[in-house]
A and B are shown apart, each in its own frame.
Chain A
């Protein structure tokens, strides 16, 4: 059997339809199928020989997947993808630590907010009360006027 151009075109389009997307692999599979048909099934008609050749080859989609997997795990592509995997792992780790520490961070920030927004303003008031209500020479408490302290409580 000698294959004509239209038959080769048909085989090539069918190879593409069956899942072989890499142009390099398409050329090789096309040549392989043609060799099979010409040498192993020379006496069969085109369709029969083609079907036998396809059966011999198995799933072309699986062949493409296996070839892609091998290429991706070889050479520079392997180094590139392993670096990419490490980058993604690092990013996820940073995100994980951030989200783990975020509640703690918020608590710290909130506590700092509480300290600065609530407690610190109270400090001047505390200082005022201490310095105005204590007689440091006599170590006595200075009471509020009776109007302020309705129980007429006097501290000596």
Chain B
């Protein structure tokens, strides 16, 4: 996915609840690229160059790790605050 596509995908998945601004998206993408968690493929569209980002092998492992951490955090918060979490 490329930058604009990522912002639109997040907006659609969260039904507009979360909007990633470009000011935070591109620094995050470049940071993950520098950490070798993402790789890019460039495609020329006329005079424009579109960069598609994909996860590397290390990126996929890190993704799983982060998701597990967040899941544990949610379980802990649920227990701590006696929350009833439900999907809208």
Contact = CB atoms under 8 A, between A and B. Distances in A.
A58 B22 contact: yes
A contact patch SS: helix
B50 to A, nearest CB: 5
B88 interface: no
A45 interface: no
Contact of A69 (B2, B22, B27, B50): B27
A58 B31 contact: no
A25 B26 contact: yes
Contacts, number: 73
A77 B48 CA distance: 28
Given A35-B4, A74-B35, A67 B27 contact: yes
Interface residues of B, number: 23
Interface residues of A, number: 31
Given A31-B48, A74-B31, 10 more contacts: A5-B47, A8-B47, A24-B51, A28-B26, A36-B4, A63-B22, A66-B23, A66-B24, A66-B27, A67-B30
24 contacts: A9-B47, A12-B47, A24-B51, A25-B26, A27-B49, A28-B2, A28-B26, A31-B3, A31-B4, A31-B45, A31-B49, A32-B3, A35-B4, A36-B4, A57-B23, A58-B21, A63-B26, A63-B27, A66-B23, A69-B27, A70-B27, A70-B28, A71-B30, A75-B34
